[in-house]
Structure 1
Amino acid sequence: MIFSDAINAANELARMVPLLGGSTSRKDYDEALMLVEYLLETQPDNPLVEMLTAKITAYEDHAPEFAAFNARISAGKNGVSLLRVLMDQHGLVQSDFENEIGKKSLVSRILSGERSLTLDHMRALANRFGIPVSVFVD
C-alpha cells in the first residue's frame, strides 16, 4: 500500500534528520541549519527546505537559548529590531548608515527609541539590504 511506503519514508527521514522528528537538541538544530543552507545552494526547490524551515522556526520560537532574543524582538519596534539584527548579521555599526539614515547620532536616537524610522529611511534600508520596505513598518 502506498500509505505505508510514505509513512516508512517519513520515519526514515525523521531518523536521518532528527529535528524533523521533533528533537529539541541544539546539535540537531545546527545540523538542520547546515542542511537547509546546502539545499538552498544546490536544490532550492527541494520540499525538504520547507519542512526544515518550519521546524527550525519552531525550535527558535521555543528554545530557552532564544528566549531573551525573542523577548527583545517582541518588545521592541519591528523596524528597529530588524535594523539591529541586520547590523549584527553584517557586522555594521551606527556610522555605517549615513547614506540611509544620516549621522551616527540620529541612528543612535532611532536605536534607543527616541526617534522613529521615517519612510525614506525604510526605503533606503530596504534598498541596501534587498528586502521589502514593509518589513520595517511597525
Structure 2
Amino acid sequence: MSALIEQVAAHWEFVSPLLRKPRSEEDYDRLVAALDELLELVGEEEAHPLMSLVDIIGEWVEAWDHQHRPMPKATGVEALRYLMREHGLSQSDLPGIGAQSVVSEILSGKRQLNLRQIRWLAERFGVSVETFI
C-alpha cells in the first residue's frame, strides 16, 4: 500500500463525511455548513491547499441545488422590473426603450419588448439578450 493511501485510510473516518455527494437534505445541509467554514478559512487565497476541497463540495452543492431547488423562470418584463429596482431607475430613465408611456405599457403587459429594445436593455444592464426574451 502506498504512503498516500495509508494516510488516507488512517484519516478516512474524519474526512469521509465531506467527501460524499449529498443523498438527502441532511447531507446537503452538512455540506453547505462545511463549505461555509471552508470559505471562511480559505478566503480569497486561490492557492490555499483546501481550495480543491472547496471546488469539489461547491460542485456537489450546486448540482443538488439545480436538481432539487430549480430557479423559476422569470419573464423579460419581470427581469426588467427587477433591474430597474436594483439600479433605482424610473420609467423615464430608459430612453432606449422609448418614451415613459412606452415603458409603462411594457411593464403593464400592454406591449411587448421588441428586438431593438431588448438589445438596448441587454447592453444597458450588461446582461444577455436572453434575459428579456
TM-score, length basis structure 1 = 0.53
Offset at residue 92 of structure 1 (A): 1.6
Structure 2 partner of 1:83: 80
Distance 1:51 1:20 in 2: 14
Moved over 3 A (4+): 1-6, 19-23, 45-61
Structure 2 partner of 1:112: 108
Offset at residue 8 of structure 1 (A): 2.9
Q: Is the 8 A contact 2:28 2:61 kept in 1?
A: no
Q: Does 1:128 align with 2:124?
A: yes
Distance 1:50 1:106 in 2: 43
Larger CA deviation: 78-87 vs 46-55: 46-55
Q: Is the 8 A contact 1:126 1:132 kept in 2?
A: yes
CA separation of 1:88 and 1:130: change in aligned 2, threshold 3 A: same
Structure 1 partner of 2:18: 9
CA separation of 1:55 and 1:115: change in aligned 2, threshold 3 A: same
CA separation of 1:21 and 1:85: change in aligned 2, threshold 3 A: farther
Offset at residue 84 of structure 1 (A): 1.1
Offset at residue 132 of structure 1 (A): 1.2
Q: Is the 8 A contact 1:94 1:104 kept in 2?
A: yes
Larger CA deviation: 50-59 vs 109-118: 50-59
**CA-to-aligned-CA distance 1:25-84 (integer Å, 9 cap, x gap):** xxx89xx6xx6xx97x765x94555445556675685xxxxxxxx6xx66xxx1111111
Distance 2:57 2:85 in 1: 28
Structure of greater Rg = 2
Identical counterparts, % of pairs: 34
CA separation of 1:107 and 1:20: change in aligned 2, threshold 3 A: farther
Kindly tell me the number of residue pairs found equivalent between the two proteins.
106
Offset at residue 9 of structure 1 (A): 2.8
TM-score, length basis structure 2 = 0.55
Bigger RCO of structures 1 and 2 (CA < 8 A, at least 6 apart): 2
Structure 2 partner of 1:67: none
Distance 2:91 2:79 in 1: 14
Residue segments in structure 2 that go unaligned for 5+ positions in a row: 47-51
